[in-house]
């Protein structure tokens, strides 16, 4: 292949010399030549005959040219005009928001021409646009639903506080605390939405540097110790003395806060949450294990979806974005995240992080 020449799309059927086409064209030319000879034989050799022959021959080739132009026009209409009209009409429908339309392919796969390849790529693009539109609509619906709850709480208790004459000082304090808590939940929801949106749109790129992951895990666990004590859940920490990696420290802190926060949330009083970290020369493995409610297969298959909360968890605190953030951060820093769980037997989330950044 010459330098700079674009390789042929492997989906295209190569256009090779065809003896069939050669035979058809040769036969047509022979017929035209034979017809001309027949016209010539109908005229004797004389001056007047020669003039008449020229006129007839001119008319003959005019008719042949007309037929040839009509055949080319029909061929151009079939091969170019009609496909472009179909593409234009379908593109207009897509621009109007209809993502269900598809363009028909003229040939079976393996015999595609450039129009078939273009139509197939267009269909793929429309399908992806439809999927994105569905996700966007679902995201907007989920966000709207999640915003309604704290806003409704704030509104209801604010109206109740207006009737302060009938409320005791203790009731006013309790109502104020409910509003403060709902406001905090609303602020956390908006923060997580913005953070996840930036991560998904790659507006935040990992900033890697060497740091001690074991130290970071110990600091996060220490910061959450009071919350564990308040709920009566034991936190067991097993860390190495040092585990230096090259990654984004700030992003990984989001992961540990969400994993430990979820473990605490879904572990009843008297239960245990274990934070364990081990390492090898190539990677570091961090596991968060709890003795909480656990998850069935259906819940586990959707646990990393935005705003998803399994059956029995709808009343739990949170916005359903924590594990979506965990998965997105893991992907950005080149880590892998997995979960093992069963109803009544708790859950274990495991993050495997390379010691050095993964090259794209």
DSSP string over 234-263: EEEEE--S--EEEE-HHHHHHHHHHHHHHH
**How is the beta sheet containing 347-354 ordered, strand by strand?**
234-238, 272-279, 283-290, 347-354, 336-341
A 10 A CB-CB count for 261 gives 17
Comparison of pLDDT for 189 and 86, the residue scoring more: 86
Question: Quick check: 313 pLDDT over 50?
Answer: no
Q: Does pTM surpass 0.75?
A: no
- Distance, in Å, from the CA atom of 351 to the CA atom of 355, rounded to the nearest integer, reads 12
Could you tell me how many residues make up the chain? 360
Query: Apex CA 304: angle with CA 253 and CA 146, to 5°?
Result: 90
User: In this structure, are residues 115 and 86 in contact, taking their beta carbons and an 8 Å threshold?
Assistant: no
* Mean pLDDT comparison of 162-171, 276-285, 310-319, highest-scoring range: 276-285
**Which run of H or E residues covers position 288?**
strand 283-290
Span 221-266, pLDDT tens digits: 998 888 899 999 999 999 999 999 998 888 888 889 889 988 998 8
Tell me which CATH code domain 142-200 carries: 1.10.287.130
Question: Quick check: 53 pLDDT over 90?
Answer: no
**Which ranges in the chain belong to alpha helices (H)?**
19-41, 47-76, 82-95, 114-162, 169-200, 213-223, 225-231, 249-265, 297-302, 322-332
- Distance, in Å, from the CA atom of 253 to the CA atom of 2, rounded to the nearest integer, reads 51
- Distance, in Å, from the CA atom of 243 to the CA atom of 217, rounded to the nearest integer, reads 10
Q: What are the residue ranges spanned by the domains of the chain?
A: 20-95, 142-200, 209-354
Cα distances from 116 to residues 73, 182, 317, 335, in angstroms, run: 21, 56, 52, 40
Question: Quick check: 60 pLDDT over 50?
Answer: yes
Burial class (CB in 10 A: 0-12, 13-18, 19+), 227: middle
Mean pLDDT of the chain: 79
Does the domain spanning 209-354 belong to CATH 3.30.565.10? Answer: yes
pLDDT confidence band for 13 (50 / 70 / 90): low
Span 272-299, pLDDT tens digits: 999 999 999 899 999 999 998 888 887 8
């Amino acid at each position: 292949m010459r330098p700079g020449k674009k390789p042929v799309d492997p989906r295209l059927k190569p256009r090779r010399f065809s003896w069939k086409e050669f035979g058809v064209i040769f036969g047509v030319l022979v017929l035209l030549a034979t017809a001309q000879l027949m016209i010539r034989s109908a005229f004797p050799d004389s001056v007047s005959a020669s003039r008449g022959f020229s006129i007839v021959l001119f008319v003959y080739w005019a008719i042949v040219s007309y037929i040839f132009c009509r055949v080319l026009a029909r061929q151009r209409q079939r091969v170019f005009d009609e496909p472009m009209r179909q593409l234009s009409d379908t593109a207009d429908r897509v621009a109007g928001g209809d993502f269900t339309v598809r363009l028909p392919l003229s040939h079976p796969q393996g015999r595609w021409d450039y129009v078939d390849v273009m139509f197939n790529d267009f269909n793929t693009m429309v399908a992806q646009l439809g999927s994105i539109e569905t996700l966007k609509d679902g995201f907007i619906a989920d966000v709207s639903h999640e915003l309604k709850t704290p806003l409704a709480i704030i509104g209801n208790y604010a109206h109740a506080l207006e009737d302060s004459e009938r409320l005791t000082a203790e009731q006013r304090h309790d109502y104020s605390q409910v509003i403060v808590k709902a406001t905090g939940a609303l602020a956390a929801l908006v923060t997580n939405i913005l953070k996840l949106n930036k991560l998904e749109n790659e507006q935040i790129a990992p900033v890697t540097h060497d740091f001690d992951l074991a130290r970071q895990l110990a600091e996060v666990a220490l910061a959450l110790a009071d919350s564990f004590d308040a709920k009566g859940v034991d936190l067991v920490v097993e860390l190495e003395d040092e585990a230096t990696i090259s990654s984004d420290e700030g992003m990984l802190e989001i992961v540990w806060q969400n994993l430990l926060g979820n473990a605490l949330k879904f572990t009843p009083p008297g239960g245990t949450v274990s934070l364990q970290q081990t390492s090898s020369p190539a990677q570091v493995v961090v596991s968060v294990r709890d003795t909480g409610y656990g998850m069935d297969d259906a819940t586990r298959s959707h646990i990393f979806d935005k705003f998803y909360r399994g059956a029995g968890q709808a009343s739990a605190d949170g916005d359903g974005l924590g594990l979506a953030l965990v998965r997105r951060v893991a992907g950005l820093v080149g880590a892998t995240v997995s979960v093992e769980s069963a109803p009544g037997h708790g859950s274990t989330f495991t993050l495997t992080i390379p010691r050095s950044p993964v090259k794209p």
